[in-house]
Each structure stands twice: as structure tokens, then as C-alpha cells.
Structure 1
Amino acid sequence: MTARLEKLAGARVVVTGGAGLVGSRLTALLRGVEADVTVLDRMDAYPESTHEMFGAHQSGTDLVVGDVRDREAVRRVLAGAEYLVHAAAFADVAACTRRPDIAFAANVEGTEVVLEEAATAGVRRMVFVSSAAVYGNGTSPTDGIQCFSEEQAPHPLSVYANSKLWAEHQTRLLLAGTGTDYAILRYFSVYGDPQVPKPGSHSWMVAWLAMHARVGLPMHLNGGGVQVRDLVHVDDIAAATALALVEDGVVGETVNVGTGIPTSVREVGELIAPHFPGSRFVTTPRPADDPLGGYAATDRLRELLRWTPEITVREGVERYVRWLNATPAAVPGWLTEQA
């Protein structure tokens, strides 16, 4: 992989939303192959202490604090850029449901500005970060666990998913024929240190369960924890995204980024529990709108990126627990207060 990424050495790469968990890991990887990286980020999605853990202020990256809806700011950072990863988004599903106006502004208006300016600036290639949320419950929601393929029709069930699907379509419409190549990546369930859960959100299963166990709170299993997710470590997510900048086969394509392995909520809890003696589970009713979930079809990932994820869920959970035990201050105050 490193050899393939060497073609980015000296190239100007812009990462919107590059100060978040995925973005910061991606920029570190790009700096490692000597790319000239510029990050555009509002820096308000997390507390400052969390951004420090992400490494958003590390040397070697030009950090520009700004909004993707600000056309002048976007135009300035894209001047002379050869590559672009558009990861900036209002990315919390529950928060998007509570505030669809913010979701629209960030994920729709902001993406439109980025697409227009990328084409005008003559960016060589743009990678758009989408989500497996566009699949919703899949095509057969009553059949239980499903394998989600890029060929099947999307069925977004949330404001967040709907905004991502719109942005996918708009990427294809606006960049086709402009000279700016594009690739669309649908991330499945991203996890890994230093992920910190946000209040009012129940995404990020590994972080939620591990931090609850760490502070002595029970790990809640809705419906017994039978729901599954395709958990992909953030290091693997960053690797796939970087490869999408250089692999020719992915141009114009939509690709799942997942492991192809379903992991249940209970399985994750059972991996975490031995690290925290006395930890316990509480079974709660499964909400009617809580999907049983699914996992990624990975044929396109293997074929077009010539790569597969390397970090197993067991290894990734152990990494997270080691980091959490070494960084107890990472547990947010609102969670400690609950304990």
C-alpha cells in the first residue's frame, strides 16, 4: 500500500473535515508519504481536548478553520490542489434527526459548494465520503441480517442518510465530464481510538460499551444485542480512502468500505467485558425502528482498490481498551457524572 501511495509525495491534498477521527487519521497517513496536506474544518464538532487527542494540530498539516459553506474559504484551500477528500459533514444520525436544518446546511449546501469549487479549481480527483446508512434496512427488511451490495437500491431511513445519498447523486451529476475524477466510498461502522462518544448519540458501539464498562455503568443490549454491524477500524478506513485517491479502477465508482463480516452488539460487549472485572449487561427492549443490520459486500473493494481491511474486531477492540485504560481522562465528564 505504501508503495502505491508514494505517487502522492509532494502532491497538494485537501481534506475537508480533516480534524475529525477519520480525517485526522487520513491526514497522518498522507503526511507519512510526504503529501502536502491542507485541512479545512470548523473545529466545533468536538471539545478542544478531543481534537487534541485526534492530533488535529500536529505539525506538517496546514489547518484552516472554516466552513465548507463559505465559498471563499473553499476556493482558497482548493487553489492549486490536485486531490480532495470531502469528509466534512454533520455526521451524527441522531443529531441530524433533531436538527435537520443543520444537516441540510452542512451536508447538502456545503457539499454543493465543494463540488462546484473543485470542478472550477481543476482538482484531479475527489473522494466523497458517504455512508452505509444509505442502504437503510435493505431491500428485504423482514429477512434479518443482510449483505449490502453497491448494486442494490438504497433506502435511506434518516435525515443523515438522505443527505448522504443526495450528495452521492450530486457528485456524479456535477463532476461528470468536468475533468475532475471522483470516487464515492460508503463507510460502514467506523471505530477505534481515540473515539469519544457524544451526549445524546448512541452511535460508535465500541466506544459506548467500553466507556460504560470503564466507569462501572452497565452495557445496554437492546433486544439482547442481536443486531449486527460491519465494524471497520479507523486505520483501515484511512487506508482505503487514501488508496481511492490513486487507484485508477475506482474512478467513477461507488465502493463499500467494510470487512464483509457481521459482528453483533453482544459479541462486542463480550470482547470488552473481560477487560473490566465486574462489568455487566442489561437487556432492554429493541426499538421497533432499530434494524437488525447487515454487512458489506466487499467484491468491489478487493477488485478496485486491490486491498482488504487488515484489523480484526478482536484486535481493534483490544487496541481501544488499551488506549482507554492508558487515557482515563478521555472519558467525557457527562458520562462520569452518570456513573
Structure 2
Amino acid sequence: MRHVLITGGAGFIGSHLADELLRHGYKVRVLDCLVEQVHGPDGKRPAYLDPQVELVVGDVCDREAVDRALQGVDAVFHFAAAVGVGQSMYEIAHYTRVNNLGTAVLLEALIARPVQRLVVASSMSLYGEGLYRDVAGRTRETGERTLEQLKAADWELKDEQGKALEPVPTPETKSPTLASVYALSKYDQERMCMLAGRAYNFATVALRFFNAYGPRQALSNPYTGVLAIFASRLLNDSAPKIFEDGLQQRDFVSVYDIARGCRLALETPQAAGEVFNLGSGRPQTVRAIAQRLARVMGKEEIEPEIVGKYRVGDIRHCFADIGKARQVLGYEPQVTLDDGMGELAAWLEGQAAVDKVSQASAELAARGLTV
């Protein structure tokens, strides 16, 4: 498997994976439509994309472009996707077209031109709420918080007696709870790939990414990863906006660890047919991450703005149990949060960002998607 195609490979995670693969002797081709929301209006090849990467500019929904990109490749990483929980709740047709139809087009092309391995980028968003433990020490899955609870700014998950539940690491065995159109589409991507791989005998691996961060994030995209959104605000000397009370917990993982985990999923025979979490395994509150980013950017005087509202599609706590990836893939996060945030801050020094966060928030509010 020396010749690899990455759909959506000119983006943040895909380009880092391309670097990882090149370092290990692979030949890399990328299929990407260079969408404006991520890459800007000029539609040019990103300067950060290694010159050794062959770029095919095309839409994953275009069968001709997909067939062209698949010629001569041994394995495929399927990363092409529209990304964003909030935006997916009103651009439903767009998210369904790119994520669901795009995956279907790729799979039909792979039926005609099979590869040795397909690795699909799934998402932690499909879990909805993570796993919890009650006061009796029992682990349990939960439903969604009620609208009445959210209107009362009562943010935490509780049991039937009204006692708070404690979040614990979420394993791959947790049932999906699909809280947004984005989460639904990522689950569809994952399951379509696994079903087709089993039916047509090409080894398939699904990787559920948690909150990746690092250089090359699209800073002017208000629907991208939360750290990029915070960085965009701070670069413009504005306070990061945080929904609820900021104490919701997430799993922030370096893009370098994600890229390494992806390569291991390609190279590990025992990974075929399996689903893996890729995260750091360490929870952080969103408020603490915002404060930490401000500090490493030298803007610690800018405190995050806690808006005290709920965004439809958001969940309270979710962070990764990475035990399965450790055991099967030999995956081990190597970039500490301090080192990763320091490198991100250094990269941000040379960046400019158009702050579109207020515009995105207004769009959500106008559609009744914040409570």
C-alpha cells in the first residue's frame, strides 16, 4: 500500500496526514475541491501542502473526478466532509450532499476499482453525550437534556432522582446518540464505508476523531474546531465566546497524534473492520482551554465571554477512552497539551483571521438554534 489517496486532503488534518505518510515513504495524492469556507476565495493550492503531494482539484460528489483520483492507488483515506455542528442544522442539504452523497459516490467507485484499505474519518460527535457514572458507581448512557432544563441554565446531566452524573471516558462501544445533522452524516459515512468494505472485501477502518488542534486550521471559518474559533477571536483582540457556562468537557488532541494514528490504522492488519477513538484521553473544560490559549498568545487579559446559552446540537461532556487504539494500533498520544498549545501560538503569530464568529452566532439565533 505505497500509493495513497486522501479525499479532502488539502485541509487541516488531511495535509498533516499527507506529511506523515510522505515521511514514511508513501506516495500521496489528494482530491479536494478547495471550498471557499475553508481555503478562501482564490481557490489556490494551499502553500502548506507539500510539493510532493499530487493535487487533483475536484468534488467528491463528481464520479469522474473520483475515478481520476483513484487511478493507481492502493489505499484511500476518506476525509472529505462539510464540518460544523451549528451550520449543519440549517444547511442540511449541503451537509447531506457532501457527507452522505459524496461517500456514496466514492464507494460506488471503489466497488468498480477496489483498494487494499479504506480508512474513513468519523467523529466523536456521533456519540452525543459521552458515558457517565451515577452515584452508585454504575456506568450509564444518557438521553438529551430537556429544553426546560436548558432554559433554566441547568447544564449538567442528572439521574432520575435529580443527582448529578459524573462524566467518564467514552469507549467505542457506547451507542450513538445523534444530536445534529453533522453527527448523523458522519455516522452515515462511517457505516456506509464499513458496510461496503465488508460486502466487497476491501479492508475498512473507521476513526472517530476528537477535538483536533494545531497549525493550519482554517481561522476564518466560524464552524471549524473550537480552538481555531477562539484563536480567530483573540487575533482580533476579541473575547472567545463560550456557550453554556464553559465547564463542558472535551478531548483536545494534537493533529500530529491524529495523523500518526491514521497511519497506524493503515499499517495495522488487525485494524481491518474495526472502529477506533483517536483522542488524548484527557478531558479539559472549554473555559480552561480558552484561558490557556489566551495566555500562550500573550493575551491573558482577554477573558472568555460566557454567553450562558445552549446551541442546538451541542452536548455537555465527551472525552475519549483510547484503550482500544492503544491495544490494537499501538497508538499513544505524544504531544502534550503544553507543547501543542505552544506550537499553535507560535504559528498564530504569523496569521491573520477574518472574525466571522458574531455573524455565525447571529445566523444561529435568527433560526432559533440557540436557547
TM-score (norm 1): 0.89
Q: 1:336 to 1:324 in 2, by over 3 A?
A: farther
Assess, with a 3 A threshold, how the Cα gap between structure 1 residues 96 and 335 changes in structure 2: closer, same or farther.
Answer: closer
- Deviations along 1:116-168, one digit per CA (max 9) or x if unpaired, are 22232120000011001110124225235342211111011111110111122
Q: Secondary structure of the residue that 2:348 maps to in structure 1? A: helix
Within 1, Cα distance between the matches of 2:346 and 2:109?
A: 42
* Corresponding residue pairs, total: 325
Match of 1:140 in 2: 142
Q: Which moved more, 1:100-109 or 1:192-201?
A: 192-201
The corresponding residue for 1:212 is 233
Amino acid at match of 2:48: G
C-alpha displacement at 1:92, in angstroms?
2.0
Where does 1:141-290 land on structure 2 (aligned, <5 Å)? 141=143, 142=157, 143=165, 145-201=167-223, 203-274=224-295, 275-287=298-310, 289=312, 290=314
Could you tell me how far 1:40 is from its partner in structure 2?
0.5
**Which of 322, 330, 337 pairs up with 1:306?**
330
Partner of 2:59: 67
State the Cα RMSD in Å. 2.4
C-alpha contact 2:220 2:356 (8 A) present in aligned 1 = no
Q: Distance in 1 between matches of 2:311 and 2:31?
A: 39
Taking structure 1 as reference, are residues 313 and 175 closer, same or farther at Cα in structure 2, changes over 3 Å only? same
Query: What is the CA deviation profile of residues 289-310 of structure 1, one whole-angstrom value per residue up to 9, with x for unaligned ones?
Result: 4422211111111011112111
Shift of 1:269: 2.1
| Change over 3 Å in CA distance of 1:118–1:73 after alignment to 2 | same
Of 67-76 and 180-189, deviating more is 67-76
Q: Where do 5+ consecutive residues of structure 2 fail to align?
A: 131-140, 144-156, 158-164, 360-371
Alignment of 1:55 with 2:48, yes or no, is yes
| Paired residue secondary structure (1:67) | coil
Residue 104 of structure 1 aligns with which residue? 96
Kindly provide the amino acid, as one letter, of the partner of residue 158 in structure 1.
S
Judging changes above 3 Å, is the alpha-carbon distance between structure 1 residues 215 and 336 closer, same or farther for their aligned structure 2 residues? farther
Q: Percent identity over the alignment?
A: 29
Deviations 1:238-274 (A, max 9, x none): 1111111111121100000011111101211221233
Q: Distance in 2 between matches of 1:113 and 1:170?
A: 11
- Give how far 1:288 is off: 6.5
The equivalent position to 1:16 in structure 2, one of 4, 7, 10, is 7
User: Letter of the aligned partner of 2:23 in structure 1?
Assistant: G
- Residue aligned with 2:319, SS: strand
Give the structure 1 partner of residue 122 of structure 2: 130
Q: Structure 1 regions of 5+ residues with no counterpart?
A: 1-7
Q: Which has the higher helix share?
A: 1
